Amino acid sequence: EVSKPSNFIKTIIRRDLEEGKNESRVHTRFPPEPNGYLHIGHAKSICINFGLAKEFGGKCNLRYDDTNPVKEDVEYVDSIREDVRWLGFDWEDREFYASDYFEYFYECAVNLIKKGKAYVCDLNADEIRKTRGNLKEAGAESPYRNRSVEENLDLFQRMRNGEFADGERVLRAKIDMSSPNMNMRDPVIYRIAHAHHHRTGDKWCIYPMYDFAHGLEDSVEKITHSICTLEFEDHRPLYDWFLQELGVFHPQQIEFARLNLTYTVMSKRKLLTLVEKKLVSGWDDPRMPTIAGLRRRGFTPESIRNFAEMIGVAKSNSIVDYGQLEFCLREDLNKIAQRVMVVTDPLKVVITNYPEDQVEWFDAENNPENEADGTRKVPFCREVYIERDDFMEDPPKKYFRLSPGQEMRLKHAYYIKCEEVIKDAEGNITELHCSYDPASRGGWTEDGRKVKGTAHWVSARHCIEAEVRLYEHLFSTPNPDKAPEGMDFTANINPDSLKVVTAYAEPSLAEVEPMQKYQFLRVGYFTSDKDSVSGKPVFNKTVGLKDSWAK
Ligand code: ATP
Ligand code: MG
Ligand code: MG
């Protein structure tokens, strides 16, 4: 395998290995909260964490950060497992759940209370926010801050026992109400929520907050490098504080810039809004930036991994051009997609000098990039369909496709020449009458005359109907998070992001398995959808043929 480019995280890891830190182990984790489907941003994090483990001979855990029961669900747990596996990563038996550590988190909280480092506070959420102060002004200490250890232990036990209502009390760390870092101003570490948890059921009615739980999860699993996004940089002192106060194994938190992509929103909350408001067909709608959506659209795991490698790992936020993702996709599809002929906007052509009852079967190569993919038979007869825009009645100079009196090559078949244009009463072109040159079989002639244009086509007697779903970006602006005054991001939805057409396809496409990758010659890359039925395939447009982004 080629050596991968370095980045600042690898530099840190190399130094740690040289110094023999953590017995020279490398152990990372990917810690999703199961409150939605994974998106392309998560894919970056997955590739980084699993990639580092692989490169340095270490391990990477899949850990569900399931500490917030109200928003979590087993549907999400299952989808996450499927998506990480599909991306090509393996966590073996290291699938963990933060909820399995609830008893341990509780003990840790009790230890903090015993050390005088945590207290039960009766202020409500609003009061806590108001007394927190701001960057210019120190916060006010809670009137409950100096409760005795005994009273705190008793109240915390009673919180656990379910004696209080949601929001009535919280447990707070006792740190510093005048810290310049707001996260250190006595953060809440436990809250009351009488909510059913998808794994622990009704066993708990208090749940730990993210900042408290996350470091402990890392610590329990002996994670060496805890990699997270930049927003958590200001939380690192708190991460370190908990682990130091508790005197437990201390992983190193390292922050990197999250992935942002043009024409996309990438927060689970917003993606959930799209699903709930039925602005898309579901989490796996091919226009969604979710891994499930990208998969259904026709992305390959390789293309997503290559993309993650190409954008690299940086310390400052930026927005990546969606075209870069498509570039990686096209590169991979060009290698693997089976070439087929499908006419998406048909115009009938009658070849008047071709024998009425004759049918020929031409050999067509499946993939010029890979000879091993072989050939298939494509039928040809007197009536074929070509794309409507491969004909022009009144063409400009240097038009090499079909026009009156001009020849064009039908891929794999013959040269045809347009002899007559047939129109209806309104003057719309309904069909073309052409002649063919029997000596041009296979697409060339002995006389070596130049026929520049080559078109795809299907036999009108053999083709089948296919439903083709043509997609554009889901949003019409490059930065859809920025909404017009008084509106939310859904105001930026592109009303034309899906167009469905009936296309005519060569008969080899009558029976397709979902997720097969095709290049419709001259049209684009397409992937068969799970909605396909026998004799009536459905295809999603994956990406166009042309590059809009150059390396
Ligand atoms: P979102 O903000 O989209 O709702 P999240 O950060 O709340 O996502 P988690 O399930 O907590 O979602 O994330 C799991 C891991 O994926 C975290 O380590 C997080 O840092 C990382 N991650 C999430 N979004 C991105 C992104 N856009 N780019 C890179 N990594 C990301
Ligand atoms: Mg989260
Ligand atoms: Mg988030």
For residue 408 and ligand 1, the question of a CB distance below 6 A is answered with no
* Strand locations in 284-331 (E): 318-320
Residues that are catalytic: 33, 258, 268
Distance between Cα 267 and ligand 3 center (Å): 6
pLDDT score at 87? 98
Distance between Cα 277 and ligand 3 center (Å): 20
Distance between Cα 65 and ligand 3 center (Å): 12
Using the 8-state DSSP alphabet, how is residue 21 labeled?
A: G
Low-confidence ranges of the chain (pLDDT < 70): 1-3, 547-551
Class of domain 260-338+464-551: mainly beta
For residue 214 and ligand 1, the question of a CB distance below 6 A is answered with no
pLDDT score at 549? 47
- Tokens read off for 202: 């009704």
17-36 pLDDT per residue, tens: 999 999 999 999 999 999 99
Determine phi and psi for 448, rounding to 5 degrees.
Answer: 70, 20
Give the residue extent of every domain in the chain.
8-256, 260-338+464-551, 342-456
126-147 pLDDT per residue, tens: 999 999 999 999 999 999 999 9
For residue 35 and ligand 1, the question of a CB distance below 6 A is answered with no
Asked if residue 193 lies in contact with residue 72, where contact means CB atoms within 8 angstroms, the answer is: no
Pairing of strands 454-455, 458-459: unpaired
CATH second-level architecture of 8-256? Answer: 3-Layer(aba) Sandwich (3.40)
Bridge partners, residue 402, by sequence: 391
pLDDT score at 4? 79
pLDDT score at 3? 65
Instruction: In whole angstroms, give the CA distance from residue 79 to residue 268.
Output: 14
**Cα angle vertex 89, ends 83, 95, to 5°?**
80
Asked if residue 145 lies in contact with residue 173, where contact means CB atoms within 8 angstroms, the answer is: no
Check if CATH label 2.170.270.10 holds for domain 342-456.
Answer: no
Asked if residue 500 lies in contact with residue 468, where contact means CB atoms within 8 angstroms, the answer is: yes
Asked if residue 465 lies in contact with residue 537, where contact means CB atoms within 8 angstroms, the answer is: no
Atom of ligand 1 nearest to the CA of 269: 4
pLDDT score at 292? 98
Residue nearest to atom 26 of ligand 1 (CA): 41
Q: What is the DSSP string of 138-155?
A: PPPPPTTTT--HHHHHHH
The ipTM (two decimal places) reads 0.96
pLDDT score at 5? 86
For residue 161 and ligand 1, the question of a CB distance below 6 A is answered with no
pLDDT score at 2? 52
For residue 318 and ligand 1, the question of a CB distance below 6 A is answered with no
Instruction: In whole angstroms, give the CA distance from residue 211 to residue 347.
Output: 63
Same fold for the pair 260-338+464-551 and 342-456: yes
